[in-house]
Structure 1
Amino acid sequence: MGLLINGVWHADTPLVATKDGAFVRNESPFRNWVTADGAPGPTGEGGFQAEHGRYHLYVSLACPWAHRTLIFRALNGLQDSISVSVVNWLMLGHGWTFVEGEGVVPDPIHNARFLHEIYTAADRRFTGKVTVPVLWDKARGTIVSNESADIIRMLDSAWGGGGRHYPDALREEIDALNARIYDTLNNGVYKAGFATTQAAYEAAVNPLFETLDWLEAQLTTRRYLCGDVITEADWRLFPTLLRFDAVYAGHFKCDRRRIADYPALSGYLRELYQWPGVRETVNFSHIRRHYYESHRGLNPHGIVPVGPVLDYDRPHERGGGGLGVA
């Protein structure tokens, strides 16, 4: 996978894991915020004011964390305000790259070949993992943030969106949903997939399906996670559900049930996929090829399965009561 140490790229460093075989995700090191007036956000320093054309987003179409940011860029109509570069789906010894390929959008700012060059452009002695998404400030020539949870809130509020997906009245409920879904499902699929012991795998996969069962029950009686209004919690869940049957069920051994086996979750997933602007953020070729071609420890020959066949354009038939037809 690789990482930077004092600004120098070191290939083939292993995923971080504890001695009991459990996968551990690193914290994001860049935590500044874009705000409407440039004042400091909840973390980091000030001086990052929302302006048309000032910021650039680096993403992978395969990565669920980066996918969140593309969704919020679309939901808030920021496609003309925030430019985007898309890395190649294949991540091997050089990490994320801009090698030419279907759907790849080169870096117009640094003409970088590798994403790690963006990190050293911000900090020439940077040490750590090189991840997407990255929000870059063209004016100050630095990374604003590489934390997707922060970036989606910036996109939802700093440019005049009013934070409509994180309303004051629902914040406590949204935060609780986010915490459970992140730990057991968004990150849970990775904890199951990258576990190196049976005990670590089972410690991840059992809570994962407990959460899916709980979500199915919730969405049987309500349209969205917080009721009749769609929120940040729904859009943070969506990229994981979208990838589940295509990748996680097989590649990460999360195969007790598919999303297709959950009637309410299936209808909900199709509704969100069909939401205006969202379908255009999805690229199943990048998703499938990234996971199956990049994770050579799990799939040594890089063979990409031909299935399953997914049809998220079918009518979702969901109303205020929740349950959709599978």
Structure 2
Amino acid sequence: MSEQPSESRPEHSTGGTYSVPGKEFSRDTNYIPTRIVRDPAPDSGDFPVEPNRYRLVAARACPWANRTVIVRRLLGLEGVISLGQPGPTHDADSWTFELDPGGVDPVLGIPRLKDAFLARDPHYSRGITVPAIVDERTGQVVTNDFGQITLDLSTEWTEHHRDGAPDLLPAEHRDEMEQVMRHVYTEVNNGVYRCGFAGSQDAYDAAYDRLWTALDTLEDRLTERRYLVGDTITEADVRLFTTLARFDAVYHGHFKCNRNLLREMPALWGYARDLFQTPGFGDTIDFVQIKQHYYEVHTDINPSGIVPKGPDLWSWLTPHGREALGGRPFGDGTPPGPVAEGEEVAEGHGAA
């Protein structure tokens, strides 16, 4: 990852920065590092696992936040970690809760996510990012380290997982998973942003070539295997899915990742539809909010703020045929149940 440009400003949806002319996009990865763990070490600053104490604040529009919502749902943690959902757009200062009555989060009692960051540190000056986990007792952010949050949901909250929860971090595949997830993060999850926020033609050209090299590699990998690692869904699949779900609707046009559409890549498109149609994945995707966020907030890229009407979404529900490759989506586990009341994607915002 390149050095962060000195003339940049926080970009709250990505935890990164806007690039400047001649520079490559660089993500600010200096997150609040405290964790929620089963047995916090003395003086570590970490917080204890405790049901009904924490609130996950995760905007539907954000791919990084979307990961945490999927993992929370797959593991059945809805009843022990509450969910706050900011709206799809934010001002220059913070994500806001404009979709809630009175524009205030009903549990935290705050209109802006920034209030929880300032409750933790009155001098906090970095990006106000989602996902963030907030201690409901104090109103303070515990962590916004999106990469660690999902790992901890799988490993530290096991006593509260639902019966039949899948193992998203199988020990026998962990080393391979780490390599795959690192590649997916640097080349694809971050790669689309590297294209979209490139500060020069040279930076864009390099980012574009790097992204498509990675996507072609993944296309080859998924041609003869149903999932990225092993024969079940893992954290690696969650991390790739949230970018693929946004690709045709946003990244292809808005971020100029336009060599071809995702739906023109047989393996990746089949893989994305397979996951989308799996409980816990597609039922978290709000295409309307996703498009509103990117096209309205990124005024550097889209000054008009016009949100495109397309693409048509019906094809997300077409048969994918990936069952022929074998595999068991949840391994020895079971699918999650219905979406929790109040967490459903609004009618007309999904692919149905």
Task: Report the TM-score when normalising by structure 1.
Answer: 0.88
What's the CA shift for 1:101?
A: 7.0
- The aligned counterpart of 1:198 is 201
Deviations along 1:12-35, one digit per CA (max 9) or x if unpaired, are xx9343663211110142112222
**Distance of 2:303 and 2:326 partners within structure 1:** 42
3-state secondary structure, aligned to 2:306: coil
AA in 2 matched with 1:204: A
**The one of 282, 297, 321 aligned to 1:317:** 321
3-state secondary structure, aligned to 1:45: coil
3-state secondary structure, aligned to 2:257: coil
**The one of 142, 154, 157 aligned to 2:155:** 157
8 Å CA contact 2:74–2:166 kept in 1: the answer is no
- The aligned counterpart of 1:33 is 35
**Distance of 2:17 and 2:148 partners within structure 1:** 24
8 Å CA contact 1:186–1:237 kept in 2: the answer is yes
Task: State the identity %.
Answer: 41
**Distance of 2:79 and 2:58 partners within structure 1:** 16
Segments of 5+ residues of structure 2 without an aligned counterpart are: 1-7, 328-352
- The aligned counterpart of 1:17 is 19
What's the CA shift for 1:111?
A: 2.0
8 Å CA contact 1:85–1:105 kept in 2: the answer is no
Of 192-201 and 17-26, deviating more is: 17-26
Deviations along 1:40-90, one digit per CA (max 9) or x if unpaired, are 8xxx92552222101101111110000000000100001111111111111
8 Å CA contact 1:85–1:106 kept in 2: the answer is no
**Distance of 1:277 and 1:163 partners within structure 2:** 11
- The aligned counterpart of 2:58 is 59
**Distance of 2:41 and 2:258 partners within structure 1:** 46
**Distance of 1:93 and 1:55 partners within structure 2:** 26
What's the CA shift for 1:123?
A: 0.8
**Distance of 2:25 and 2:326 partners within structure 1:** 34
3-state secondary structure, aligned to 2:178: helix
8 Å CA contact 1:86–1:105 kept in 2: the answer is no
AA in 1 matched with 2:47: F
8 Å CA contact 1:65–1:132 kept in 2: the answer is yes
8 Å CA contact 2:37–2:47 kept in 1: the answer is yes
Calculate the aligned-residue CA RMSD, in Å.
2.6
8 Å CA contact 2:34–2:46 kept in 1: the answer is no
AA in 2 matched with 1:184: E
**The one of 224, 228, 237 aligned to 1:234:** 237
AA in 1 matched with 2:287: F
Segments of 5+ residues of structure 1 without an aligned counterpart are: 5-13
Task: Report the TM-score when normalising by structure 2.
Answer: 0.81
**The one of 142, 145, 155 aligned to 1:144:** 142
8 Å CA contact 1:59–1:67 kept in 2: the answer is yes
AA in 2 matched with 1:315: P
313 and 163 in structure 1: CA distance in 2 versus 1, 3 angstrom threshold: closer
8 Å CA contact 1:165–1:231 kept in 2: the answer is yes
204 and 2 in structure 1: CA distance in 2 versus 1, 3 angstrom threshold: closer
Deviations along 1:109-136, one digit per CA (max 9) or x if unpaired, are 4422222111101111112111110011
